Amino acid sequence: MSMALKQVFNKDRTFRPKRKFEPGTQRFELHKKAQASLNAGLDLKQAVQLPHGEDLNDWVAVHVVDFFNRINLIYGTISDSCTDQTCPVMSGGPKYEYRWQDEHKYKRPTALSAPKYMSLLMDWIEVQINNENIFPTNVGTPFPKTFMQVAKKILSRLFRVFVHVYIHHFDRVSQMGAEAHVNTCYKHFYYFVTEFNLTDHKELEPLKEMTARMCH
């Protein structure tokens, strides 16, 4: 991964869900981020394919970082309407509940409010992508054997952000006029994880009907 990518994650430049920004700024940033990875008119299914001669680990690492940054931003745009009161459980409708587990405080799957879950998730991902032993920044430094496993876990958990936003907060996304950008980001994400089989099909289930309409 290039140093330029790593610079994106300086604390003062990363959009954190707990920080508040003016709606105009959020929309501007969301627009900028959503458009940055796309060329005008480029088919998204083609855009995610591994370029000839490129290393798959490098390709996945760049996309994990990009998706983290953009999905973090998407959640930030609706975070003022996602509170412990409105979303006491991290869920995707009545059928899907997500419990948090990590190697530190929550060693067993634990039910948390959506904002608490999101905060822990974004912090956890940030630690992973800034860990040189998992995401090496020096060209030529090999990726660890566990890299793809970590990348899959990150992407699966990021998919849950889409699930929660689409099912519980899409009215807020629409109110901000950001649905086209969120949809584009989602389609880009979906095509990428399915192209390289980076997310279990059961994780994709909550948005299955919407995805069928949007991506096929």
Give ∠ CA 150-60-186 in degrees, rounded to 5.
95
**What tokens does 11 get?**
């604390």
The response to whether 164 counts as a known ligand-binding position is yes
Instruction: Decide: 96 and 139 in contact? Cβ < 8 Å.
Output: no
User: What CA–CA distance (Å, rounded) separates 121 from 158?
Assistant: 8
Q: Where are the alpha helices (DSSP H) in the chain?
A: 3-7, 23-36, 44-47, 56-78, 114-129, 147-168, 170-175, 179-195, 201-204, 208-215
Name the residue among 165, 147, 160 with its Cα closest to residue 200.
Answer: 160
Can you tell me which residue has the tokens 């920080």? Answer: 19
The response to whether 169 counts as a known ligand-binding position is yes
User: What CA–CA distance (Å, rounded) separates 140 from 66?
Assistant: 21
User: What CA–CA distance (Å, rounded) separates 95 from 208?
Assistant: 13
The response to whether 87 counts as a known ligand-binding position is yes
The response to whether 104 counts as a known ligand-binding position is no
User: What CA–CA distance (Å, rounded) separates 194 from 152?
Assistant: 11
Residues tagged in the binding site annotation for Zn(2+): 82, 87, 164, 169
Residues tagged in the binding site annotation: 82, 87, 164, 169
